[in-house]
Structure 1
Amino acid sequence: MPARRADLLRMRRLAHAIDGPREQTPADVTRRMLAVQAQDFGAACWAIAFRTVAPSRNAVLADLDAGRIVRSWPMRGTLHFVPPEDLRWMLSVTTERMLAGLTRRHRQLELEPSDFTRARDLLTSALAGGRALSRADAMELWESAGIATGGQRGYHLLYYLAQTGVICWGPTLRTQQALVLVDEWAPPERARRLDPDEAGAEYLRRYLAGHGPATVKDFVWWTKGTLASARAAVAILGDELTTLEVDGVEYLLGAELADRAASLPATRSERGAVQLLPAFDEYLLGYQDRAPVIDDALFERVVPGKNGVFSPVLVTQGRVAGTWRRAGTAIETAPFEPLSGARAAAAERAAAAYLRFAG
């Protein structure tokens, strides 16, 4: 059905729990989003906490320490927070393509199958019984056994073992996380078992639940999958999905999200809200086409030099309206255009909420 861009953005804000009801716990947010980009650990903690009813860094860390959230490379070669029960089937969809693309790099690094096997056996033995190691400890373990880790070899060993479902990042360790065994932190008996077609459809269902409305190309980019597999997932989901046409572009969304948007009229506070989202937030990064959220002419103000490093963003009515940063005990905002008095006050409230989270 034809719609306005404002309708698209409101549905996305509801899907992301940026507007409308928030989730109760950080683990609930991760289940809703399926995967939250987490290469920047601190930013990812705020991305999750922001979407809860009472944003708390300690609550995020508690869910990590209890194994209710884990971190791995389930897609695009990028670290994400994911629900432990979903990690295995997610990897079943993406691992083959991701590892196939690294064959040449492994040859360049002189990494042989025997290196991966030895690294796996050493690390599995060191972690067994509920133990955890830092990245540095894992590198030292391999070096002491004669497995060189320099020149990105160590990174690729960790990545391979994560992709093949041996290890993930689990409990907090200082300002980051420690490595643990997937079999202990996401044990098979707790994992969802899906056949290939079910897994592909579930990927799309969950992506749209936390990111919709989105295009098929957005989904393909997010998973680094294929257009053919995405179309197959659309066909399997069938009547679970509906479509939205904005400016001649067709977007997919779940029927449940469409119904929720229709039953929750926008409030005055929602229309005047200002959100301070972290760097690399899914609201901006979760799509191949970011035009609905930010004008291309302004994109370099969020990603200077388009170098892949995203700044935290200020959002009003679903559009990126500026950037922000923490400066000691204060928040400095840099809106693209001056904010009205009401929105400036809303930005101050959002800044105070972040500072409470950050302590």
Structure 2
Amino acid sequence: MTHTTARPRITDDHRRALLATRHLLTPATRATTSEQVADAVLGLHATDPASVYLTVAARMAAPSTADLERALYTDHTLIRMLCMRRTMFVVPRSLAPVVDASTARAVAARERTGLLKTLGEQLGYDEHRLAALEQEVLVALAGLGEATAAQLGEAVPELQQKIVMAPGKAYEARPRITSRVLGVLAAEGRIRRGRPLGSWASSQFRWTVAEPHPELPADAARADLARHYLAAFGPATTEDVKWWTGWTLTATRKALAGTEAVDVDLAQGQGHALPEHLAAPADPGPWAALLPALDPTPMGWRGRDWYLDPAHTTELFDTNGNIGPTVWWNGRIVGAWTQRPDGEIVTAALPGIRLTRDARTAVTAEAARLTAFFGDIRIRPSFRTPLEGRLRA
């Protein structure tokens, strides 16, 4: 007789309880350092500079811009990388070699191929000429210590050459090659972003020479990253892992097979969980959070039905799949928030959601924490989502 063992079943409540504590979203689990936050969520989305600070602030007991600046620019314990899904992340330094070998290396190779194709077609570059230009940039940057793109353009005049983007289109542009060349050097981990020119919300920054990452075998690195992902975001489906990493389905399945994950049943179908996450977690208690645009928590899974009603997706995401600022209550997205030009933090519940008095009180308290963190700083989102746009207006 053949006996079959049923897969463990993990409920949505189980997943929401894990999310609350592992992502440091309850008052009792808040962090004391920026490194603890980055470890908890594996990486901070860094496309929008302000999101990095707001992601950390939402999870710290005493939010501090100085602490994150220390980690980024003094101790270098957090590293900014172009990696998963060709997206900018800030990751723990200990994880940077794994991210580099598993995802960033392939992204950088595609970036280099695209740059060489453009420079070759428009300016007659080949690999040797591009390499010579890059070496001149690295020498100049080493001499300067740190420099803006404009300063590097003055030090290396060849960077001021222009290319044509989208020729013949209404949005045709003729930018200098500076940002493209620096972008490839950064993707390869040869240079890195330094301190911003303005406030912590500024998108203008300086460059400095970076230390190279130790090289790891790609297959082993993918398995290691898959395990880290499940530690932070599991249980999760194969599609979740594939989407978050940007890997092919074959690479995703191979990476998951290299972890100690076990198959489980989720409300969304078959998934994967680490053994330590099978037991039902303790009730985290009530909690509220105001998370920024592109926060790692709402952007952690491809399948979001267990924390976001699909009917509300169009209110919170732009047409490119970027999520705006969200209001959370007990493991579900229940609304959105924005900062108005006068500094006021305003929130609104999603259509059809009525918050209890306790929920409204907790959300108001989080808005006050966020207001205190902003101080005199004002931000403008890099992209607009429908509900956030209506709130701002």
Normalised to the residue count of structure 1, the TM-score between the two structures is: 0.85
Question: CA contact under 8 A between 1:99 and 1:160: conserved in structure 2?
Answer: yes
Corresponding residue of 1:320: 333
Corresponding residue of 2:267: 247
Does residue 342 (structure 1) correspond to residue 351 (structure 2)? The answer is no
Corresponding residue of 2:384: none
Q: What letter is aligned with 2:60? A: T
Q: What letter is aligned with 1:235? A: A
Computed over aligned residues only, the root mean square deviation of the Cα atoms, in angstroms, reads: 2.6
Residues 43/104 of structure 1: CA separation in 2 closer, same or farther (3 Å cut): closer
Which of 29, 32, 43 is the equivalent residue of 1:35? Answer: 43
Q: Distance in 1 between matches of 2:176 and 2:249?
A: 31
Q: What letter is aligned with 2:180? A: H
Q: Distance in 1 between matches of 2:276 and 2:10?
A: 17
Q: More displaced, 279-288 or 126-135?
A: 126-135
Corresponding residue of 1:182: 210
Question: CA contact under 8 A between 1:26 and 1:63: conserved in structure 2?
Answer: yes
Q: What letter is aligned with 1:249? A: G
Query: How many residue pairs are counted as aligned between the two chains?
Result: 344
Q: Distance in 2 between matches of 1:257 and 1:153?
A: 48
Q: More displaced, 221-230 or 277-286?
A: 221-230
TM-aligned CA deviation for residue 141 of structure 1: 4.2
Q: Write out per-residue CA displacement over residues 212-267 of structure 1, whole angstroms, 9 at most, x where no aligned residue.
A: 222222112112112222222222223xx2343222512223233445x53xx214
Which of 184, 206, 210 is the equivalent residue of 1:160? Answer: 184
Question: CA contact under 8 A between 1:170 and 1:178: conserved in structure 2?
Answer: yes
Which one has a larger percent helix, Structure 1 or Structure 2?
A: 1
Residues 152/126 of structure 1: CA separation in 2 closer, same or farther (3 Å cut): closer
| Higher radius of gyration, 1 or 2 | 2
Q: Write out per-residue CA displacement over residues 122-179 of structure 1, whole angstroms, 9 at most, x where no aligned residue.
A: 2211222681222443445444555436447433322321222211223344234432
Q: Write out per-residue CA displacement over residues 40-71 of structure 1, whole angstroms, 9 at most, x where no aligned residue.
A: 11122110232233222221122212112121
Q: What is the correspondence of 1:1-359 to structure 2 with a 5 Å cutoff?
A: 1-19=8-26, 21-66=29-74, 67-99=76-108, 101-102=110-111, 103=113, 106-108=116-118, 110=121, 112-114=126-128, 116-128=130-142, 131-143=145-157, 147-148=161-162, 150-151=174-175, 153-175=177-199, 176=202, 177-183=205-211, 194-238=216-260, 241-258=261-278, 262=281, 265-267=282-284, 270-271=285-286, 273-304=287-318, 306-327=319-340, 328-336=342-350, 337-359=353-375
Q: Distance in 2 between matches of 1:233 and 1:161?
A: 28
Residues 120/353 of structure 1: CA separation in 2 closer, same or farther (3 Å cut): same
Q: Secondary structure at the match of 1:237?
A: coil
TM-aligned CA deviation for residue 333 of structure 1: 0.4
Question: CA contact under 8 A between 1:49 and 1:60: conserved in structure 2?
Answer: no
TM-aligned CA deviation for residue 313 of structure 1: 0.4
TM-aligned CA deviation for residue 75 of structure 1: 2.4
TM-aligned CA deviation for residue 180 of structure 1: 1.9
Identity %, equivalent residues: 25
Q: Secondary structure at the match of 1:148?
A: coil
Q: Distance in 2 between matches of 1:151 and 1:79?
A: 21
Question: What are structure 1's unaligned runs of at least 5 residues?
Answer: none
Question: CA contact under 8 A between 1:69 and 1:170: conserved in structure 2?
Answer: no
Question: What are structure 2's unaligned runs of at least 5 residues?
Answer: 1-7, 164-173, 376-393
